[in-house]
Amino acid sequence: MKIGVDYYPEQWDKSLWEQDASLMAQTGVKVVRIGEFAWSKLEPQEGEFDFNWLDEALGVFQRFGLKIVLSVPTSCPPQWLYELHPEIIRVAPDGNMVQIGKRGHRCVNSPVFQKYAKRIAKELILRYGEHPAVTHWQIDTEIEAYPCCCDECKASFRNWLIDKYGSLEAINAALGTKTWSGEYTSMTHIQPPTAYPLEEQNPALCLEWYRFTSESAAAFVREIALAMRHEKHKLRITTTTSFAEDTPDVYKLYNDVDFVAYNNYPPLEIPSDPEEFYSHSFFLDLMRGIKGHKFWVMEQLSGPVCKAGKMSPTLRPGMLMGYSLQALAHGADTVIHYRWRTAASGAEMFRHGLIDHSNVPGRRFFEFAELCKTATKISVIDTTELVSDVAIMYLPENEYALKLQPQAEGFSYLEQLRYFHWAFSHYGANVDVVPPYADLSSYKVVIAPAMYVYNKVAVENIYRYVINGGTLVMTNRSGVKDNNNNCIMEPLPTVFRELIGADITEYDPVGEREQMITDFAGNKFVCRQWCDILNVTTAKAYAEYSDNYYRCCPAVTMNRYCNGVAYYVGTVCKSDFYESFVGNIMRQTGMPRLKGLPRGVEVTTRTNGLDDFIFFFNNSEETATITLPKAMYSIIDSAGKDKLELKPFEVDIVRK
């Protein structure tokens, strides 16, 4: 378990480097990430490289035993490159070049930009590929599926479509262009769907544009990685992401790098609404699931953040430690904090790091120092991993398509995934968030919410899992679209009808209007957003609607299929339904449950095959008391305990 920091030597006077590196080493920092925005410092003029300052900085870190993640700084091309080649600047939906000055304003499809990006990457590898302190490499940062509308991207998109479909006639058929007289009679007619709000445009075209921009981002990372490995084969390479407006398909993004790295910024304010899931545990599990093994946090929250010139509240005591250990609990083996020093200039001068503008270490810094000590203390879990009985299937295309057409007021794809994630976690179960092609055979339960857009691999995987004896849960808005994001003209849920043993005769997009359902035991729960009205064929009703004209019609069903069981949840409820529903499924599948956990307490277990280490994280603003089923040994306090008293955001780890 390594703790690190982000550092920008090019932004600070050299006189600070030595004292910063010395304090890092004394504090317990193991890893430093540098270089992600330093292109203009490394190549101040066309073809003129200056590595002397970086040689000196790396030498300082090396003397103090610090390992380095060196970044290829392609997110921020230097001003001279924009002036020399303005064609590399991204073009906005309005047809104008974006104003440069921020990061990410280059077009990753531009051959000219790619040439310069590969050159700086190769120069860095040739210089530092054998440097003993440089152990890992990062390409770009938070690369997005940018909707660039330059001529290069337009031409590339058209070529991508013709490569995929083979002819203009096939493109028209796939995209359903007969609507609104939209048929293409020339490839030049095809334009990126960005001129108007996306919800007003062809959903099939929009999904293809998302696929293209995602693949463009992934292809750029792949090309830079290949250029680097051409110079030195054995490199540990990654890129980073965070969930933003234009986040690409993460499975594609990380396909050609060695490990996943995530920029993790949990919320600083705990919402008062108990139905609002603020925990980042879901996203951490998603990151672990991309490649199915441990990942890095390349940026971890260290202080107040700033958006639109306004600063957030500061971290509460315990947050810095708690959120870092939460990441470790969910599969991170390295957590790097953004950043060592708060910037004194630039747009992010109020996006705080560990040391504020006062240049005097304060409360957050000392909590960070305590975290470094704790990471050393819990090194016994370095060889452990998470083993889960539950998987939640996440498909980026479903998320995109349901953002494009949200179906009903308040409807959210991710919310449905997170309801189930929360419910299983509330009982202390580990949860994997997995891609559609994941091996499902080891899981006792698989959740596949809102399988909206047809994915052949996912459908076959789901059927295979249930046929072989698995327990599956599906939800509303499944089987709605074909792979082109056009509606399927069959009774819903189309390809899944046989599996769930029911037809949807009608649906009611109720939005925020609350209604009730009653389960088989007479328990009543609030439902809203969406109501599928189900006609069972081979299934049995698990719950029925209690009001509206479809009162007594099934809302949730259970169907035995071959050797397995498939549940279908035709509505969206509040968290108490998922807690009850998941509890029943865990009991039926023989999964152990922790009962009576205070709301906000998260439990995660890591194992080495001999010993289980259980993380208890109080992700709330209230002190929590947890009675353990038996006395256990705390590796945080080096003491036996039969009860845990956790302050807000405090973590304890006990050996089972």
Predicted local distance difference test score (pLDDT) of residue 104: 86
The confidence score (pLDDT) of residue 1 equals 87
pLDDT tens sequence across 168-208: 999 999 999 999 899 999 999 999 998 778 778 999 999 99
Question: For 115-147, how does the pLDDT look when each residue is reduced to its tens digit (9 = 90+)?
Answer: 999 999 999 999 999 999 999 999 999 999 988
Burial class (CB in 10 A: 0-12, 13-18, 19+), 552: exposed
Residues forming the active site = 142, 299
Tens digits of residue pLDDT in 304-327: 999 888 999 999 999 999 999 999
- In the predicted model, what is the mean pLDDT of the chain? 96
**Which pLDDT score, from 0 to 100, does residue 102 have?**
78
**Dist. CA 393–CA 339, nearest whole Å:** 33
pLDDT confidence of residue 142: 95
Outline where 188-299 has alpha helix (H).
203-231, 250-253, 281-291
Output the pLDDT for position 198. 78
Amino acid, single-letter form, for residue 28: G
- Taking residues 160-167, report their average pLDDT: 98
Average pLDDT of the residues in 329-335: 97
**Of 245-249, 557-561, 601-605, where does mean pLDDT reach its minimum?**
245-249
| pLDDT at residue 467 is higher than 90 | yes
Q: Tell me: pLDDT of 292 over 80.
A: yes
Which tens digit of pLDDT belongs to each residue from 197-226? 877 899 999 999 999 999 999 999 999 999
- Span 528-549, average pLDDT: 97
- The residue ranges of DSSP E strands in 354-462, in sequence order, are 390-393, 431-434, 445-448
- Terminal alpha carbon distance of the chain: 20
- Residue 473 near residue 448, CB atoms below 8 Å: yes
Q: Which residue has the tokens 């380095």?
A: 68
Average pLDDT over residues 381-394: 97
Q: Is the pTM of this model over 0.75?
A: yes
Is residue 78 scored above 80 in pLDDT? yes
- Calculate Rg over the CA atoms of the chain: 26
The pLDDT value given to residue 308:
83
Task: Name the percent of the chain lying above pLDDT 90.
Answer: 94
Compute the C-alpha angle 6/8/13, nearest 5°. Answer: 140
